[in-house]
Amino acid sequence: MLEVDWAGSPLFIIDSDTGEKVKVYVFTATLLCSQLSYVEGSLSMDLAAKDPSTHI
């Protein structure tokens, strides 16, 4: 079983070209039995981008 969620408040990164603050959302996935976790920063909270079964 896999548990997925968006963690806490967004973080920010600085675009090196423009100096603009860009919001980054933290995506987490954890295997419940082993407690192994995966964490990734994302520029949007679009779950379709995280689900390989939706890729064509």
Strands (E) in 1-56, as ranges, are 2-14, 21-31, 37-42
Every domain of the chain and the residues it spans: 2-44
Task: Give the torsion sign (CA, 14, 5, 46, 49).
Answer: positive
Per-residue pLDDT tens over the stretch 1-55: 889 888 899 999 999 999 999 999 998 999 999 999 999 888 888 766 566 554 4
* Four-CA torsion 34, 30, 51, 1, nearest 10 degrees: 50
Q: Facing residues of 51 across strands? A: none
Predicted structure pTM score: 0.69
Structure letter (DSSP) for residue 34: T
- How high is the pLDDT of residue 56? 39
